[in-house]
Amino acid sequence: MTLALIILGVVLALGLIAVLIQTRRRRRRQFVPVVAPPRAAMPEILVEEPEARPTLEDADEPGLASRLGSSRGVFDRVRALGAGELSDEQLDVVEEVLLRSDVGVATTQALLESLRTNGAPDGVAATVRSALRRELGDADRSLRDSADEGRVPVWLFVGVNGVGKTTTIGKLAQREIGAGKRVILAAGDTFRAAAADQLSLWAERTGADIVRAAEGADPGSVIHDALGRAAARSSDLVLADTAGRRVTSTNLLDELAKIRRVADREPGQVVETLLVLDATTGQNALSQAQEFLAAANVTGIVLTKLDGTARGGIVVAIQHELGIPVKLVGVGEGADDLIPFDPDAFVDALVEA
């Protein structure tokens, strides 16, 4: 035991001596400073006129032609045709293009007959452009936003589920509130799960007021309550959602007719009934529209998803078959991508080079 302690003491002593020697050696070392290389002289002027840093806000918005890329692509073969008389093969090309673009049979046949008789002295594309523009006419495409004295204007939105009805309401709410109006949203689609929740999100986002009820509640009562609140708060506009289907035995169109009657009673006044259609459904959109016209007294069409796989000619078919103006078109997912329909700009985007 004693020997072990002696050995341990010797080891500790030797270790301490080694540490002291190492410390003294470090102190003797001289510090050698690191000298940085000389820096080159800076020029007096770096740039004469510095450019502003680009921002997202400065970026150019995509034009209508690029947004209608799928629809415009259908007309590439028409743009490739020349002027003068057309051969049967060229007429076949025009017919195929028009039908593929969902212009409709009636408009297509009328245009083909004109080309056979008169040719295309200014070019096929110019002739097609003029014909499509004539079909669209010069109807009033503005949205009425005023009602009789003492009544609240109502925009009623109808259409089947999935066409973008609720999203359209939200985008219009943002636009109207941005213009300084006081807007109330009426969540009248009480039969679709989460429809009221979706509209509530738009109300929160835009700052609009909203009236809603439990799922399955009477839609007419929701519209009635919204009108009462609008009158009490001197609101400028009520945007009313409606059901796209019924889960009971009651006919949907009967329900829509009832809702319209409620919305048109004092203090409300229906000034616009907008039928929302999905452009990607093509000619099926016409069938949907014809079912809604009588029950809802439609005053205008909102055509959504026109920037997707839709064929833009459906706008012409709707105008020709229904005689109801397309007032708004959706050309993107953003809140500002629901735009007023301009026939000239639309036809140019489809056909012109």
Given CA atoms 315, 319, 322, 328 in this order, what sign does their dihedral have?
positive
Region 198-226 average pLDDT: 92
pLDDT score of 281: 85
Give the pTM: 0.78
Domain map of the chain by residue range? 64-136, 152-348
Q: From CA 7, how far away is CA 30, in angstroms rounded?
A: 38
Q: Is 16 left (phi over 0), alpha (psi -120 to 50) or beta?
A: alpha
Region 341-347 average pLDDT: 93
**205-219 as b/e, with b when 16 or more CB fall inside 10 Å?**
ebebbbbbbeeeeeb
* Closest alpha carbon to 101 in 61, 68, 74, 133: 74
pLDDT score of 353: 64
Residue range 152-348 forms a domain whose CATH class is alpha beta
Residue 280 scores a pLDDT above 70: yes
Q: From CA 54, how far away is CA 136, in angstroms rounded?
A: 40
The answer to whether 299 and 324 have CB atoms below 8 angstroms apart is yes
* Closest alpha carbon to 164 in 316, 350, 10, 330: 330
Count other C-beta atoms under 10 Å from residue 95's C-beta. Answer: 16
Could you give the percent of the chain with pLDDT greater than 90?
Answer: 42
Amino acid at 317: A
Sorting pLDDT into bands at 50, 70 and 90, what band is 36? low
- Which of 203 and 308 is assigned the larger pLDDT? 203
Could you give the percent of the chain with pLDDT greater than 70?
Answer: 80
Assigned architecture for domain 64-136: Up-down Bundle (1.20)
